Amino acid sequence: MLLGGIPLVFLLWVTGGALGDRVRELNTGEDVTVTAVSGCVEEGPPMSGRFPYCEAGWRFDDGRTGQGKVDGERIAEGDRIFAGDGFAYRSKTSRVLSLAMVAVAGLVLLGMLIGLGVLYRKTRTRRRRGK
């Protein structure tokens, strides 16, 4: 029964890493202006896991530039997106929602791990009393 908690601990660790990435992106990202769009992919085959994105370039308010894949719907030159060094999204709202979903998943996993620990203790106590 105790070995059943090992995958939960691993998933909790992975969830914590994903949560940290999203918090870092929210702290370091800023609204930028799209300067060029080289192409967009609307969708992939069903069940492929491909989400819509556009290849684009953008300019930060301080004059720096960046380029890469912008996750989300189609964008056009002059649009404002949320980006930072190494990431770009259609809006900051999508990162906040993603952060909330990862946090809820982490809380569920933590609750499952605590529940498993409580069940383990109860089972151990019952076995001791039964002997």
Could you tell me the domains of the chain? 10-125 (2.40.50)
Nearest in space to 83 (alpha carbons), one of 26, 39, 35, 128:
26
Angle at 29 between CA 51 and CA 36, to 5 degrees: 60
Residue-wise pLDDT tens digits, 43-98: 665 566 667 888 999 999 898 999 999 887 788 899 999 998 888 888 888 888 88
Share of the chain above pLDDT 90, in %: 18
Helices (H) and strands (E) in the chain, counts: 2, 5
Residue 51 to residue 48: CA distance in whole angstroms:
9
Q: Give me the residues paired with residue 83 across strands.
A: 30, 88
pLDDT band of 129, cuts 50, 70, 90 = confident
Q: How far apart are the first and last CA of the chain?
A: 19
Query: Using alpha carbons only, how large is the chain's radius of gyration in Å?
Result: 22
Pairing of strands 65-71, 80-84: unpaired
* Overall pTM > 0.95: no
